[in-house]
Amino acid sequence: MNIAIIGLGIIGGSFCKALKKHTKHHVIGINRTPGVAREALAQGAVDEIGDAQSLGKADVVFLCMYPQACVDYIRENGSKIKKGAIVTDSSGIKSAICPQLKELSQKHGFVFVGSHPMAGKEKNGFEASEAQLYEGASFIITPCGADDRHVEALAELARSIGFGQIKLSTPEEHDRMIAFTSQLPHVLACAYVMSPSCPNHKGFSAGSYRDVSRVANINSRLWSELFLENREPLTEELDIFAENIRKIADAVKQNDRQKLENLLEQGHKVKEMLGE
């Protein structure tokens, strides 16, 4: 197949490298910055550098851009996409963009299937991409009305490049769960390192500091868009988290050992129940 990857950052670049490592598909790299596309070609991550006109020969198109940028790109170039081609995004939010992309697919004759690769690093850009990024990771698919044949075709492509689990979801369920599993930890990490104690952590810190603070090395432009586009589910999670923090803080302030122990034990039992 001809597969077009639009946006050669860490996500798009890793798709390119994984496809070249694991499959025989022809990979077309499309990127706003020509120098990045040339580097991808030089590294053998893509077979050719494309542009919007290349969409006419692509069987599958991956949109690896900021959420609204995906919509804007298809709104501008949707007419160039081959009829019947599968178009998928890689965005961390779905409810805000999937209806728009589905509508555009109906207008232009391609098949939209939403997706979200649950993998990444605290680094960004093509230089941070790697062929093994997706190995064993979860690949979430939001069918958005696409038929089983196209959903399974995308799922099989994901499996072929190393994804270990395919998870089907609605846009609403996706956004609700991502608010908890991804967005809330990024909020926590940023809030944590804002402490005036953080600059002096070296020599006093080990695994706990590293684990909690890792994702604070954040792409603020991307994540602010993700947070605001998913503000209702994220706000709900933030309210729950703030309430739990308040309970623990009150127990500490009140020197209430039993109350504090009970609260900490609740967290321990959740992890124990999950087998983690």
207, 147: one domain: no
The four Cα atoms 104, 108, 113, 119 give a dihedral, to 10 degrees, of: -80
Residue found by looking up tokens 């069918």 in the block: 143
Ramachandran class of 145: left when φ > 0, alpha when ψ lies in -120 to 50, beta otherwise = left
Q: Please, what's the b/e burial string for 137-162 (b: 16 or more CB within 10 A of its CB; e: otherwise)?
A: bebbbbbbebeeebbebbbebbeebb
pLDDT in tens, 230-274: 999 999 999 999 999 999 999 999 999 999 999 999 999 999 999
CATH number at residue 73: 3.40.50.720
Compute the average pLDDT of residues 1-18.
98
CB 144 within 8 A of CB 112: yes
Residue 140 confidence class, pLDDT cut points 50, 70, 90: very high
Residues with Cβ within 8 Å of residue 251, at least 6 apart in sequence: 259, 260, 263
Question: DSSP letters along 253-274, please?
Answer: HTT-HHHHHHHHHHHHHHHHHT
75, 29: one domain: yes
Residue 121 confidence class, pLDDT cut points 50, 70, 90: confident
Structural domain span for residue 75: 2-169
Q: Which of 169, 188, 216 is the last residue of a domain?
A: 169
pLDDT for 143 equals 97
63, 108: one domain: yes
